[in-house]
Amino acid sequence: MVFVDNSKKCSAIVRFAFQDALESCGVPQKLTPIFEGERNQEFHTFQNKTLTVWIGLGKEDELTLSHVKSVAALAAKTMRQLKQTSYQVDVSAVVRLFGIDCVYDLTCGILLGLYQFNGYHLTSKETYDCNAYLQGFEDAHQEELQQIVDKSAVVAEYIMKARDWVNTPGNLMNPQIFANTVARAGKDAGCEVEIIDTEKARALNMNLFLAVGESSDSPCSLVVLRHMGNPDDKEVTALVGKGVTMDTGGYSLKTGNSMQFMKSDMGGAAASAAAVCALAKNKVKANVIAVLPIVENRLSNSAKTPGDVLTAMNGKTVEILSTDAEGRLVLADAITYAVREEKADRVVDTATLTGAIVQAYGKIRAGVMTNNDLFEDELFRAAAKAGEKFVDLPTDEEYFEMIKGSITDLLNSSRAGCGSIAAGLFLREFCEDRPWLHLDIAGTSWSDKPLHEYDSEGATGSPTATLYFLLDHGFLAR
């Protein structure tokens, strides 16, 4: 746990120092030939029964809040390695630069840095519980700062839940298990929960959703989590997350090398559910719903094949060019459901949608498409708070020609490339002119080699924090 307490004394302490201000950060002169303060450089000393871990911040004018989160995570990992269960963290050097704005990053860095997926070993991993005491703030503000720490810890808690859900293998997190898991998480957080089963989905003409979901023996469902935290405001935002617990590609079969990672194809649903749960647990004054189409994409006698024609919930017809472009099918009906049945005023769909976005921007940035520039501006401000990166993708009408069908209204895949843009424009056809954002997180939701100390191998939990800050406007003003 993380506390703000300037008076707490422990036998271990973490101190941060700038590379170009070692003396003013309190680094003893005798250490400067050894410890230069480069970012993430560590040096340990033991004197008067106190362990001191010095961690470098690099140059002051180059430090960002993401770097702060990363060094906080490094500090937490180091204390775990040193088996310290209680330690002070002198953050005065960081506070001098960023003030109150660094509290979220320090808290999340410490908590996320300790994240480990337990896995399925014969011998369980050793548990580690610790208390970290942030020091270096003004005493008069400690109670206010503790409230920010506690809210930050809730965001970190649900980022880690999203990681756990995505990291769980498909046979242990099939559609039925995942639906029950997020429904239980929603209830525990204080959300209203509804599950739309196949019978009700059929009555709603959700044929695109069912075309994918009924390829599996595990029943598909649409899970809805509602947090109506602001009765004085009628605006409702829907977070629609792709929840494909395992994607074989269907008859457009994936290769074995790519299929082994397709347990991660429900990262959009995991992040959307986690964000709504965090908003509910923190009692944020916002009206938000998560709409989660949860399916498997399997080969079976009931699976659709390329060339099939389907009619969506909104009446538009779709020709299936690729059964591996299934995510946009389930999302399309889910978006229509959010708009027509839940009366959502704004829609954000989040999905591990295309390999094309990974080829273009790697693991660094997720793609964003929109029909409303002001809504996109809100997203980028939220992403800045979260420390997550996005890139704007074009929506020129010429691209839309790529998904126009000759015998149907739409094609579910482009014949002319531009896969990420084509997929986003397909989904735009279902938001019915509501302000809409499409987040393609295929690259950023999974990490083969962590880019930051607060990441871990496997699921990142992104963009849970961005979705959270999109709705919690009063958390911190940066």
Q: Identify whether 275 is part of a domain.
A: yes
Same domain, 312 and 388: yes
- What's the pTM value of the predicted model, to 2 decimals? 0.95
Do 200 and 314 fall within a single domain?
yes
What residues make up the domain containing 179? 168-471
Residue 335 lies in a domain: yes
pLDDT digits (tens, 9 = 90+) for 150-182: 999 999 999 999 999 999 999 999 999 999 999
CATH value at residue 221: 3.40.630.10
Whole-angstrom Cα distance, residue 240 to residue 226? 12
Q: Are 108 and 178 in a shared domain?
A: no
Q: Are 82 and 172 part of one and the same domain?
A: no
User: Does 158 reside within a domain?
Assistant: no
Same domain, 107 and 187: no
- Considering the domain architecture, whether residues 176 and 104 belong to the same structural domain is answered as no
> Looking at the structure, do residues 99 and 224 belong to the same domain, yes or no?
no
Domains identified in the chain, total number: 2
* Amino acid in position 1: M
Closest CA to 335 of 424, 230, 214: 424
Rounded to an integer, what distance in angstroms lies between the CA atom of residue 456 and that of residue 458? 6
| Cα torsion through 107, 112, 118, 119, rounded to 10 | 160
| 402/333 same-domain check | yes
In a shared domain, residues 436 and 338: yes
Indicate whether 188 and 60 sit together in one domain: no
Q: CA separation (Å) from 217 to 174, 264, 295, 446, 458?
A: 10, 19, 10, 27, 27
pLDDT by residue (tens digit) across 13-33?
999 999 988 888 888 888 888
pLDDT of residue 478: 39
Domain boundary among 98, 114, 130: 114
Low-confidence ranges of the chain (pLDDT < 50): 477-478
The answer as to whether 465 is a domain residue is yes
Q: Give the CATH number, domain containing residue 22.
A: 3.40.220.10
202 shares a domain with 81: no
Together in a domain, 233 and 362: yes
Q: Note whether residue 235 is domain-resident.
A: yes
Is 396 part of any domain?
Answer: yes
Residue 63 makes CB contacts below 8 A (sequence gap 6+) with 18, 39, 57, 94, 97
The first and second tokens of residue 447, run together, are 């990490």
Look at residue 120 and tell me if it is in a domain.
no
Assess if residue 342 is contained within a domain. Answer: yes
Q: Which residues are catalytically annotated?
A: 254, 328
